[in-house]
Amino acid sequence: MTGKYRAWDKEEKSYVSTDRILINQFGRVIFYTWPTKLDDVTDRYDIEWETDKNDKDGVHIYQNDIVTYYNPINGETPKDRSGHKTIVPRSGLQLGLESTLRLQIIGTIHEEKGSE
């Protein structure tokens, strides 16, 4: 996992800019308001960490992304990917032979978009 993350606002039901969101040493989510106000908003936001993988289009894969995948080494083709779908867990992708898999993000647990 890297140090990059995104934040899902459970009240607004959308991803928000992480410019003013901090995570303290205890894992609490803090919202920073200029000049000195710090509000603990851990219960309001879901923090989703970036994994060390990109999808087939070079887009970073985060926790809670829904990805389809196929393995060309096994003779699978893109049409086979519809049968292979997973949600990226907190620990990152662990699908086995990850380096050979072709991944495509089709949405998140919050909102799944249509696949190609």
Q: Where are the domains of the chain?
A: 5-108
Amino acid 116: pLDDT: 42
Whole-number Å distance between alpha carbons of 29 and 32:
10
Q: Which residues pair with 85 in a beta bridge?
A: 68
Span of 14-23, 41-50, 85-94 with lowest mean pLDDT:
85-94
At 28-81, the pLDDT tens digits run: 888 877 766 778 888 888 888 888 888 888 888 888 888 887 766 666 666 555
User: What is 12-76 written as a DSSP string?
Assistant: TTEEE--TTEEE-TTS-EEEEETTTEEEE-TTTEEEEEEEEEE-TTSPEEETTEEEEEE-GGGT-
> In terms of pTM, does the model score above 0.85?
no
Average model confidence (pLDDT) across the chain: 76
**What one-letter code names the amino acid at 104?**
Q
Amino acid 97: pLDDT: 46
